[in-house]
Amino acid sequence: MSTADATLYQTLSLRRQSMENSAHHIEVAAKDRRLAFAILAVCLAAFTAQTELAQVVQKDRDFHKPYFLLYIGHSCYILLLPLHLVFSTIRNTLASTHPHRAVLLHLSLAWTDYVDSFWESLTALYILRHPQTQYHIAIPQNDVVSDSPMEEDDSLPTFPPINALRTFCITLSIALAIFIMLPAYTWYAAVGLIPMATLTAINNTSCFFAYVFSIFMLGDNVEVRKVAAVAISIAGVFIMAFWNAPATDIPDDLNVDRSITGGVFIAALSAAFYGFYEVFYKRYCSPPVPSFVFANSLTTAVGVVTVLLLWIPIPLLHYLGIEPFALPSWTTFGYILLVASMGLLFNASFMCVIAITNPLFASIAVMLTIPLVALCDMIVTGQAVTLDTVVGSCLIVVAFGLLDNVSGSMPTVCSACRRTTPLYTPLLLSTAQKRFAGHNKWSKVKHTKGGKDAKRAQLFSKLSLEIISAIKSGGPELSLNARLSAALAQARTSNMPKESIENAIKKATGADKDALEDVLFEGYGPNGIAFIVETVTDKRMRTIKEVRDVLTKYGGSLTSVQWLFDKKGRIEFAPAQTEHDVDAMMESAIEAGAEDMEATEDDTVEILCDYANLNTVTQSLAGIGYEILKTEIAYIPTSTTAIEGEEMEESFTKCLEALENLSDVAKVHSNAE
């Protein structure tokens, strides 16, 4: 195949269905982008309305009760769950062919999906936060079950006890309610002391306080660029606080000066509290796979805790004289409910923007509230935007740009399949490559080994395990076992000694064949990365200990993660040298049972199919005349986990290498991005 033909082939060799699916992803991504901007507009409008209404309540209506306002506002978070269920029910009902008959059915399904998703995320988070306790089921592959007793299985609970999960959930809810109460209380307290534009600008410095806390709580590295961003943002706060401070020799303005200075300090304290809350949430409340449902559930739980427990400070503040309790008038209470509803709308819409796009886009976009609030201040209250507010806000925006200066296009997530898809990216092979990698780019990481002999020995060991596994899954008959044929071909291509190949066949077919098991292990490694480890072993207890020890060493644990992967058959074959009709090749692969198709850099073709049809599809392709180079069972991640920082990359690489070096391990799959 010529270079030009190969280039054309690599550009066009996506099968028809793959092209349709990818086009669908891009179409949905474009719709999600438009939806994100629409929801963002709602988010910005809600925040602006909340700040202006809060100012009306505390200044114009003279109801300066910050704790009472936050109590009403946070109590309304309890409405988020029913609103989510109503929205899901309406959406699914409208999509139904018989909407008048399906309301109760869709409500029941929405509730079932909500509960399942919540408990799934809570269980994964609990296991991640309690690595000292092992939760694991060794799942036999290909229905190979050992008859030997599993004494150690009794000591490994499948899932955390339900009481432990409930206690964990309640503890998280109470902690979140308290930690979100602190920034909210100080924010409401600052509303009546400084202009809303200044308060909004200072409040946006919470991302920089979050960075400071993340150094200590998340182990982030100290970088000059980030430190400079924090310094610039703090400089902006000081400019807004003291640029136009009146002279100290004017006694009539002394109280005003102290009020403004105190308001700036309280606002900065609110930003610091919120920064801590964000890092606390990331550290203790983020499941391995981000879940919009779980975030909504925790927000609803904060509302429940607020209603049940956080009324207690109201009489205490009244008794101490800090905030004397007084019921508002009906008009004022109506404004308070509007403030609460805008707060709920902002939180819900902001989470939607994050779910549809990414936190970076949402964080940058929400900075638009600074000029919006300043403009509304000028329109509503007639208070002109001062130069110190303009300069301070600009410094904060510049600092944020330093902190989050990221090149490249903004990714989004296809809401239909929840798979990461670049926006406005041409439909090329690079778009689909992530679906084919067992652990994506990390599958090509070159590990440092002892020498050529050690590398060859390890390769032959893996090939032997593949031959054994292929025989146990499909039998020793080559004509009926395409996986075995491909494994033997690969062994010969790798110059594996004939004696080693024969020994592997004897182990799988001899008198001791029942002692060998294909066992699949699942668990989390460093940074919550999911691993699936395929093994062939004659001593399950030994293999359990070895795999568990590696994952535990790098901060992980054995637990169920197979729901994060799709089990597929993967076939690599070489097209005919004279074949230039890409469409005909696609048709042949589709007719053979292929579900997805991709050209590789080596002028070969890889396809995915249902793992149960791997042998049938392979035989069909071979019957057409294609040379089968490799067949295998692959675990394709449905969602990926990003590796951030050199330290985390090194930890993942070492964990992957340690797993692959285990003598019983045949293959390792992960969802690392």
pLDDT in tens, 194-206: 776 677 777 777 7
Other CB atoms within 10 Å distance of the CB of residue 593: 18
Q: Does a structural domain hold residue 129?
A: yes
Tokens of 647: 């330290």
More confident residue, 566 or 470: 566
Q: Average pLDDT in the 41-58 region?
A: 78
Cβ-count burial of 54 within 10 angstroms (0-12 exposed, 13-18 middle, 19+ buried)?
Answer: buried
Highest mean pLDDT among 202-211, 308-317, 501-510: 308-317
pLDDT at site 385: 67
Q: Does a structural domain hold residue 151?
A: no
Q: Average pLDDT in the 124-132 region?
A: 72
Residues 241 and 354 in one domain: yes
Q: What is the pLDDT of residues 501-530, one digit of tens each?
A: 777 776 666 655 555 677 888 888 888 888
Last residue of a domain, one of 413, 431, 462: 413
Q: Does a structural domain hold residue 365?
A: yes
Residue 459 is part of which domain span? 441-670
Residues 583 and 656 in one domain: yes
H or E element that contains 157: none
Q: Average pLDDT in the 538-564 region?
A: 81
pLDDT at site 442: 44
Give the CATH number, domain containing residue 516: 3.30.70.980
Mean pLDDT, the chain, integer: 70
Residues 617 and 505 in one domain: yes
Residues 379 and 445 in one domain: no
pLDDT at site 155: 45
Q: Does a structural domain hold residue 100?
A: yes
Would the pLDDT of 145 be above 60? no
pLDDT band at 570 (very low <50, low <70, confident <90, very high): confident
Residues 240 and 199 in one domain: yes
Q: Does a structural domain hold residue 34?
A: yes
Q: Does a structural domain hold residue 518?
A: yes
pLDDT at site 479: 63
Q: Does a structural domain hold residue 54?
A: yes
Rounded alpha-carbon distances, angstroms, from residue 89 to 36, 103, 350, 418, 566: 21, 7, 21, 20, 28
Q: What is the pLDDT of residues 603-652, one digit of tens each?
A: 778 888 887 777 778 777 777 777 777 778 888 888 888 887 788 888 88
Lowest mean pLDDT among 1-10, 406-415, 652-661: 406-415
Residues 521 and 586 in one domain: yes
Q: Average pLDDT in the 418-427 region?
A: 30
Sheet with 565-574, strands from edge to edge, namely 596-599, 605-610, 565-574, 627-637
pLDDT at site 395: 74
Q: What is the pLDDT of residues 335-391, one digit of tens each?
A: 888 888 888 887 767 666 655 554 445 555 566 666 666 667 677 666 666 777 777
Residues 451 and 379 in one domain: no
Share of the chain above pLDDT 70, in %: 60
Highest mean pLDDT among 27-41, 129-143, 473-487: 473-487
Would the pLDDT of 118 be above 60? yes
pLDDT band at 561 (very low <50, low <70, confident <90, very high): confident
pLDDT band at 141 (very low <50, low <70, confident <90, very high): very low
The closest of 562, 623, 630, 634 to 595, measured between CA atoms, is 634
More confident residue, 438 or 293: 293
Q: Does a structural domain hold residue 9?
A: no
Residues 371 and 284 in one domain: yes
Lowest mean pLDDT among 26-30, 79-83, 203-207, 458-462: 26-30
Q: Average pLDDT in the 259-269 region?
A: 79
What is the number of domains present in the chain? 2
Residues 408 and 464 in one domain: no
pLDDT at site 96: 58
More confident residue, 303 or 54: 303
Query: In a 3-state reduction of DSSP, which class is residue 635?
Result: strand
At residue 633, φ and ψ (nearest 5 deg) are -90, 125
pTM exceeds cut of 0.85: no
Query: In a 3-state reduction of DSSP, which class is residue 459?
Result: helix
Residues 447 and 367 in one domain: no
pLDDT band at 53 (very low <50, low <70, confident <90, very high): confident
pLDDT band at 258 (very low <50, low <70, confident <90, very high): low
Residues 229 and 306 in one domain: yes
Query: In a 3-state reduction of DSSP, which class is residue 631?
Result: strand
pLDDT at site 362: 54
Residues 555 and 641 in one domain: yes
